[in-house]
Structure 1
Amino acid sequence: MTSTDWLWILHPALAVVVIYPLLGMVVRLAWSIRRERSAGAGRQHGDLGRWLATAVVLLVLTALTVVIATKEPPDRFAGGPARAAELLLVLLGTLGSLLALWRCRPAAGRLGFALLSWAGVLLLGAQPEVWRLSDDPLSLAFWQSHYWAGVGLTGLMLFSLGAWPEIQRQRRLRRLHVSA
Structure 2
Amino acid sequence: MDLNFEDIVLLLHPAIAVTVVFPLIGMVVRLAWQTRARRLEVKADNKSKIPPAVGQEHLQLGRWLTGAVVGIYFLGITFPIFEQIQKEEGFAKAPQQVILIVLFYIATIASLVFLYRAQEKLWRGVFATLTGIGLVVLGFQDGVYRLDKYWFLSHFYYGLVAALLMVFSLAIVRDIYQDRANRWRTTHIVLNCVALLLFVGQGITGTRDLLEIPPSWQKSTIYQCNFDKLSPAYKTCPPLAPSK
TM-score normalised by L of structure 2: 0.68
Q: Runs of at least 4 residues of structure 1 off by over 6 A? A: none
Computed over aligned residues only, the root mean square deviation of the Cα atoms, in angstroms, reads 1.7
Identity of aligned residues (%): 35
Q: Say which one has the larger Rg.
A: 2
SS of residue paired to 2:148: coil
Q: 2: CA distance between counterparts of 1:12 and 1:168?
A: 35
TM-score w.r.t. the length of structure 1 is: 0.90
Q: Which deviations, in whole Å up to 9, do the C-alpha atoms of 1:108-139 show, x marking residues without a partner?
A: 1011101111110100011121122126xxxx
1:72 and 1:3 mapped to 2: Cα distance? 17
**Match among 19, 22, 26 for residue 20 of structure 1:** 22
Q: In the alignment, residue 184 of structure 2 is paired with which amino acid?
A: L
Report what 1:177 is aligned to: 188
- Taking the aligned partners of 1:4 and 1:83, their CA distance within structure 2 comes to 23
Letter matched to residue 121 of structure 2: A
The 5 A counterparts of 1:24-35 are 24-35=26-37
User: Structure 2 residue aligned with 1:162, among 141, 154, 171?
Assistant: 171
**Residue 48 of structure 2 is aligned to residue 46 of structure 1:** no
Residue 71 of structure 1 deviates from its aligned partner by 3.4
Letter of the aligned partner of 2:36 in structure 1?
A: R
Spell out the pairing of 1:75-94 with structure 2 (5 A cutoff): 76-77=89-90, 79-94=93-108
Structure 1 residue 149 displacement after superposition:
0.7
Unpaired segments ≥5 residues, structure 2 = 40-49, 192-244
2:64 partner letter: W
CA distance in 2, matches of 1:74, 1:133: 20
Cα displacement (A) at 1:73: 3.4
Range moving further from structure 2, 86-95 or 74-83: 74-83
Q: Which runs of 5+ in 1 are unaligned?
A: 136-140
Report 1 or 2 for greater relative contact order, CA contacts < 8 Å, sequence distance ≥ 6. Answer: 1
Structure 1 residue 128 corresponds to structure 2 residue 139 = no
Alignment partners' CA distance in 2, 1:115 and 1:106: 14
Aligned length: 175
State the distance in 1 between where 2:125 and 2:20 align: 26
